[in-house]
Amino acid sequence: MTTLPTPLAIGPHTVQPPVVLAPMAGITNAPFRTLCREFSGGKGLFVSEMITTRALVERNEKTMQLIHFDATEKPRSIQLYGVDPATVGKAVRMIVEEDRADHIDLNFGCPVPKVTRKGGGSALPYKRNLLRAILREAVAGAGELPVTMKMRKGIDDDHLTYLDAGRIAVEEGVTAIALHGRTTAQHYGGTADWEAIARLKEHVPEIPVLGNGDIWCAEDALRMVRETGCDGVVVGRGCLGRPWLFNDLVAAFEGRPQDFHEPTLREVAATMHRHAQLLGEWIGDEARGVIDFRKHVAWYLKGFAVGSEMRKKLAVTSSLAELDAHLSELDLDQAWPDSADGPRGRTSGNNRVVLPEGWLKDPYDCAGVSEDAELDTSGG
């Protein structure tokens, strides 16, 4: 078991141990971040789900709620997604002027066809000049706030962009880069290429590189650091229905494997209740909180003997009392099952990448991207 010698610096923020909750649309809202922070003892960095810059500058009501932080959350990290340099600049300046965050992360990793079809998401870094213009506006607008970026390896194996994008990021004053070791074409399929993370680390020694992809347990995080030399890890799907992974990540980096947490179903049920309750408080409506929580139920119960009837009932619950009543019918003394370990969440991939006509012809042309590429996005 190794420990990391140097803390991760994201501008003025020290992240020790260097563990970051990956932004996940529809998941990493304030309640989920609170849960993860509670399990980590407040250590680590917890990034908001992606916020589109146009919706932000238009002060869309839902977007304004998404950038709400718990009073105890420090540093406040907002992830932005935008395709137009001017709008990105405006959104960043709005965040700074209104003191809405302490760190801004930019998302260039979304593989969803309806976004890449318009040249947005993970298709965008292929247009080097557009990427540069967005980063330049963001860094200029951010002032003292650190700006980081998160990206994939490229569009597919024949159109890799991460090394060029990394160099551009350094030149434009980006503070750190997170690399998800997959291409757009892979979506969430196959395995993340950690060698690419090592290559990026060698390519941009000037700034921290964070590795992302396929960390399912705390040992995976240590192994990623060991094998790639990355400065920190970004953990996404491994935390779905398992916020206590943040306890284990911190314990692993601090050399305390004896403190890893394998909860019984009773403890899992208590966390489920708390998660649903926090969602209700955040939304301001218990029923809507419990309804939003439904998407997490299968992840929390993965591997436990629950029965399909009970799973169905839990999937249509709409009050905390109902949730508690169902959970109390379970055999709560069940130990953490081995089958709950390993991959969870989206794991499919190898889709055809849909791009705008002629997109791959010239990586350096100065074409812009229609702002429609910001609509209907669902993450990275």
Residues at the interface with ligand FMN (CB under 6 A): 22-25, 27, 49-50, 79, 107, 109, 150, 180, 212-215, 235-238, 345-346, 379-380
Specify the residue, 193 or 265, whose C-beta has the smaller distance to ligand FMN: 193
Among residues 312, 347, 149, 336, the alpha carbon closest in space to that of 238 is found at 347
Cα(114)–Cα(108) distance, rounded to whole angstroms? 15
Among residues 83, 126, 73, 139, the alpha carbon closest in space to that of 107 is found at 83
Helix (H) / strand (E) element for 176: namely strand 176-183
Structure tokens at 219: 């040992």
Smallest gap, in angstroms, from Cβ of residue 305 to ligand FMN? 26
Specify the residue, 208 or 265, whose C-beta has the smaller distance to ligand FMN: 208
- DSSP codes of every residue in 204-222: -TTS-EEEES---SHHHHH
**Residue 191 burial (C-beta neighbours within 10 Å; 0-12, 13-18, 19+):** exposed
Contact of 293 with 275, CB cutoff 8 Å:
yes
Specify the residue, 199 or 296, whose C-beta has the smaller distance to ligand FMN: 296
Specify the residue, 183 or 212, whose C-beta has the smaller distance to ligand FMN: 212
3-class secondary structure, 110: coil
Smallest gap, in angstroms, from Cβ of residue 244 to ligand FMN? 16
Distance of CA 374 to the CA centre of its chain: 18
Q: For 106, which DSSP code?
A: E
Cα(37)–Cα(238) distance, rounded to whole angstroms? 15
Catalytic residues: 110
Smallest gap, in angstroms, from Cβ of residue 319 to ligand FMN? 25
Among residues 97, 3, 101, 88, the alpha carbon closest in space to that of 53 is found at 88
Structure tokens at 24: 């996940």
Cα→Cα distances 109→23, 119, 123, 371, Å = 11, 12, 8, 17
Smallest gap, in angstroms, from Cβ of residue 94 to ligand FMN? 19
Contact of 96 with 80, CB cutoff 8 Å:
no
Specify the residue, 89 or 236, whose C-beta has the smaller distance to ligand FMN: 236
Residue 101 φ/ψ, nearest 5 degrees = -160, 165
Smallest gap, in angstroms, from Cβ of residue 21 to ligand FMN? 9
Specify the residue, 194 or 327, whose C-beta has the smaller distance to ligand FMN: 194
Smallest gap, in angstroms, from Cβ of residue 322 to ligand FMN? 25
